[in-house]
């Protein structure tokens, strides 16, 4: 069997981690023959809850889980890790302005970036789940200059999964028969879910999603709005934010980053922008990517109509504003 790899999950006593840790520890991300040492990081007030999580992981009797390291110290949490799930973030509270949220999170992700830079492996894969995820990833990367910027990613896989589920329901096919739905831009209500390049298998025939759905107006209106506002809809119904679906999406994202994408398929990841598709450069922007040997590559040459371009410009503008606000906070520290 392979040597164990070290994986850190931050916010490890929280809701998302409660689902995420079990999925990771049973081999759904890194493979059924890859032993793991899990590092669990949370803040001092959560130590009691963290102890309960450690007990439950032990009681799951998971064959791949060699050791669990609970800690409140970033130096311990990030030591020699090969993969990092940065789930813990300051949630937006009622009456909180976006700049207040950015300011609180800059402090968290600055400290975690510095700890990654100092203690983690240089080939570590860092997935930021905590919101505002795209901008938190930019900040984290900025403070970890010895780790390639390509190794930092923000999660838009939840949005992709939501969008895929909407298409599958509308076309009346199983989820597995829908591929290549794209999320462009920010993991926020400005994101652009795009089905214009998606493919649906109906019977034994692959068809463009537009044809399989048979409702072009739906794809430009309620489909986009439903995906953009799904997080808020879950909160309204559950009185808590998405946890199970967010954990599943984090696993999907890291699984594909680690193992690669199937030929002809691509997935959405928030990655450092090189200006492709007129996105602003040097923000973390969600693009369709193909992955091979743990390296992602933006899918090029996709045609975009004016509707898509206008939506992508809006989300790009928001990301640039967020980045500038966050960096102003960084520089003020």
Task: Specify the DSSP element, H or E, that contains 271.
Answer: strand 267-272
Strands (E), the chain: 5-10, 36-41, 65-71, 83-86, 125-128, 152-154, 178-179, 182-184, 192-194, 199-202, 205-208, 267-272, 284-292, 295-298
**Domains defined along the chain, listed by start:** 5-154 (3.40.50.720), 156-322 (3.90.110.10)
Model confidence at 252: pLDDT above 80: yes
Contact 308, 181 (CB under 8 A): no
* Coil, helix or strand at residue 183: strand
pTM above 0.75? yes
Q: How confident is the model at residue 332 (pLDDT cuts 50, 70, 90)?
A: low
* Residues flagged as binding site: 42, 92, 98, 105, 129-131, 162
- Mean pLDDT computed over every residue of the chain: 95
Counted residue by residue, the chain has a size of 333
DSSP 24: H
* Residues flagged as binding site for substrate: 92, 98, 131, 162
123 CA to centre of own chain: 18
What's the rounded Cα separation, in Å, for the pair 189 and 169? Answer: 22
What's the rounded Cα separation, in Å, for the pair 84 and 176? Answer: 28
Active-site annotation holder among 39, 187, 253, 255: 187
What's the rounded Cα separation, in Å, for the pair 245 and 258? Answer: 20
- On the CB side of 159, CA atoms within 13 Å amount to 33
* Residues flagged as binding site for NAD(+): 42, 105, 129-131
What's the rounded Cα separation, in Å, for the pair 126 and 214? Answer: 39
Burial label for 330, CB within 10 Å (0-12, 13-18, 19+), is middle
**Among residues 166, 130, 189, 183, which one has the least CA distance to residue 299?**
183
Q: How confident is the model at residue 96 (pLDDT cuts 50, 70, 90)?
A: low
Name which of 9-13, 70-74, 130-134, 258-262 the model is least confident about: 130-134
Model confidence at 257: pLDDT above 80: yes
- On the CB side of 40, CA atoms within 13 Å amount to 27
pLDDT for position 333:
64
Q: Average pLDDT for residues 45-70, to the nearest whole number?
A: 98
Residue 255 bears catalytic tag = no
- On the CB side of 165, CA atoms within 13 Å amount to 11
**Among residues 79, 289, 99, which one has the least CA distance to residue 183?**
289
**Which residues 6+ apart lie within 8 Å of 144 measured at CB?**
113, 114, 116, 117, 120, 126, 152
pLDDT for position 94:
64
Predicted confidence (pLDDT) per residue in 177-192, tens digit:
999 999 999 999 999 9
**Among residues 65, 10, 3, which one has the least CA distance to residue 36?**
65
Looking at per-residue pLDDT, the higher value among 24 and 239 belongs to 24
């Amino acid at each position: 069997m392979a040597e164990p790899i070290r994986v850190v999950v931050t916010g490890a006593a929280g809701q998302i981690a409660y689902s995420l840790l079990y999925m990771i520890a049973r081999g759904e991300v890194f493979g059924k023959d890859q032993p793991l040492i899990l590092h669990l990081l949370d803040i001092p007030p959560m130590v009691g809850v963290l102890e309960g999580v450690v007990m439950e992981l032990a009681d799951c009797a998971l064959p791949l889980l060699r050791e669990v390291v609970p800690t409140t110290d970033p130096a311990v949490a990030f030591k020699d890790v090969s993969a990092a799930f940065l789930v813990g973030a300051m949630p937006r509270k009622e009456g909180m302005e976006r700049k207040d949220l950015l300011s609180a999170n800059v402090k968290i992700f600055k400290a975690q970036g510095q700890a990654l830079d100092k203690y983690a492996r240089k080939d570590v894969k860092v997935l930021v789940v905590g919101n505002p995820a795209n901008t938190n990833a930019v900040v984290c990367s900025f403070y970890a200059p010895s780790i390639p910027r390509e190794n930092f990613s923000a999660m838009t896989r939840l949005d992709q999964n939501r969008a895929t589920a909407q298409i599958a329901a509308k076309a009346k096919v199983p989820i597995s028969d829908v591929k290549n739905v794209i999320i462009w831009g920010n993991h926020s209500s400005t994101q652009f879910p795009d089905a214009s390049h998606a493919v649906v298998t109906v019977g034994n025939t692959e068809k463009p999603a537009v044809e399989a759905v048979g409702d072009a107006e739906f794809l430009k209106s309620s489909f986009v709005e439903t995906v953009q506002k799904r997080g808020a809809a879950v909160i309204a119904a559950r009185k808590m934010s998405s946890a199970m679906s967010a954990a599943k999406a984090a696993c999907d994202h890291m699984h594909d980053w680690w193992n690669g994408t199937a030929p002809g398929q691509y997935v959405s990841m928030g990655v450092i922008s090189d200006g492709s598709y007129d996105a602003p450069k040097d923000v973390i922007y969600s693009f369709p990517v193909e992955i091979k040997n743990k390296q992602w590559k933006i899918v090029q040459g996709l045609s975009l109509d004016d509707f898509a371009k206008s939506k992508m410009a809006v989300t790009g503008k928001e990301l640039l504003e967020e980045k500038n606000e966050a960096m102003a906070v960084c520089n003020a520290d």
